[in-house]
Amino acid sequence: MGLNDQWMQRDLAVLWHPCTQMKDHEQLPLVPIKRGEGVWLEDFEGKRYLDAVSSWWVNVFGHANPRINQRIKDQVDQLEHVILAGFSHQPVIELSERLVKLTPEGLTRCFYADNGSSCIEVALKMSFHYWLNRGMPAKKRFVTLSNSYHGETIAAMSVGDVALFTETYKALLLDTIKVPSPDCYLRPEGVSWEEHSRLMFAHMEQTLAEHHQDVAAVIIEPLIQGAGGMRMYHPVYLKLLREACDRYGVHLIHDEIAVGFGRTGTMFACEQAGIRPDFLCLSKALTGGYLPLAACLTTDDVYNAFYDDYPTLRAFLHSHSYTGNPLACAAALATLDIFEQDNVIESNRALATRMAKATAHLVDHPNVAEVRQTGMVLAIEMVQDKASKTPYPWQERRGLKVFQHALERGALLRPLGSVVYFLPPYVITPEQIDFLAEVASEGIDIATRSSITVPVSGRYPNFRDPG
């Protein structure tokens, strides 16, 4: 038995993996990773895999980045953790100062959590509690887009719309309002992204007009709906939504957990519409992919609604044990240093152009409906029929064939159902992008050429594997 097999057997004896039907691993071997460097992950037998999905969208400057490593090493010798209630520390103060300076003007307060889902919970609770403190307790519902995903804790699931995640727990979820997504994949032929996004905003306008007295906030993933299949839309929707939220007296929550920190071509997606949300949720790339940390940024108006004498019970009594952990804050500070010193956003534009060029040939593939891109995210949607965009039944797991082929070739490409996507670390080279395009093309050919017969039911018709 090889080293990989040994570690795999030890793993399967004790672990329960996330987003996984564990029975799959009776046929699909786990890949135990020993070390990482740059865009590469290496298993216990020396095989390397190019991390095309940034290890679940978190890693931006490569594995074992020496600058981030050193910052964490320096911090661990000084302070590993301290309670953030009644105490503070240098890394969390410096990080907060820099985030306030870096994000759109008016976001002046940072509240920390441990992960993306927890950050969403913070924003939802803050918005509801704000209206309660302002004497408007009826404003307690949330508006969200169809095909959206905001995490897997109860309230975060409530404002999501991926049935495979939510249907089982329906009895536990909040009563939210779903509005059709501006997803431009679904636009009629000949209609531009901007025109379609404007047209789709009519649904949001009508919803807010009818329900604003009961609505605390609208929550969206700006520009890209990640777990929904990397579906994309035009920034004009964000501008229209900001204007409508202002008119109707409703908060706007931007979930930039996946798309923040340069992923869409600007530091934050909201910049492309020239707007500022009332709550900006950040995580994933915040620490360069090193440690769990999330930040919910909000305004002085929100902060002041909670600022009062203790007996009024207006305080936001929400906490996590590891809130503002110094090691995670140190990693985040090192990550922001790299953004500041290395002209990352500009460099990414060249890499994004290379991704477009390397995959341009797939536009003509008979089983590719669309190759779409926003910044450093590129998605290739496989379909049964190109003309009608008829999807493959999700039960056929076509994307799994791409994943398996990529592993054989030395790449980590984990599709979202039938959507193959690139979301690589920013340290990837043009040549490595070309390699990923080659591997993806081969995998798509393999996945689409064969006829697969599996039982197909009508359950979760729009399901996409969570990737």
Q: Is 187 labelled a binding residue?
A: no
- The residues, ordered by sequence, that sit 6+ positions from 265 with a Cβ below 8 Å of its Cβ are 272, 345, 348, 349, 352, 374, 375, 376
31-to-15, 36, 238, 462 alpha-carbon distances in Å: 14, 13, 40, 29
Residue 152 Cα to chain centre, angstroms: 12
Query: Which residues, at least 6 apart from 317, have a Cβ–Cβ distance to it below 8 Å?
Result: none
Task: Let me know: does 193 contact 233? Beta carbons within 8 Å.
Answer: yes
Concatenating the DSSP letter of every residue in 99-115 gives: HHHHSPTT--EEEEESS
Largest CA-CA distance found in the chain, in angstroms, rounded: 68
For residue 73, which amino acid is it?
K
Question: Is 131 known to sit in a ligand binding site?
Answer: no
- Residue 288 labelled as part of a binding site: no
Residue 309 annotated as lining a ligand binding site: no
Q: Is 249 annotated as a binding residue?
A: no
Is beta strand 377-382 parallel, antiparallel or unpaired with respect to 368-374?
A: antiparallel
Ramachandran class of 370: left when φ > 0, alpha when ψ lies in -120 to 50, beta otherwise: beta
Does 148 show up as a binding residue in the annotation? no
Residue 401 structure tokens: 């064939």
Please state the length of the chain. Answer: 467
Q: Looking up tokens 């004498």, which residue turns up?
A: 309
Q: 208-233 burial, b for 16+ CB within 10 Å, e for fewer? A: beeebeebbbbbbbbbbbbbbbbbbb
Tell whether residue 255 is among the known ligand binding residues.
yes
Structure tokens at 436: 């990923």
Q: Is 116 annotated as a binding residue?
A: yes
| Cβ–Cβ under 8 Å, residues 112 and 95 | no
Q: What's the distance, Cα to Cα, between the start and end of the chain in Å?
A: 29
Residue ranges at the known binding site for pyridoxal 5'-phosphate: 116-117, 255, 320-321
Residue ranges at the known binding site: 56, 116-117, 149, 255, 284, 319-321, 414
Residue ranges at the known binding site for substrate: 56, 149, 284, 319, 414
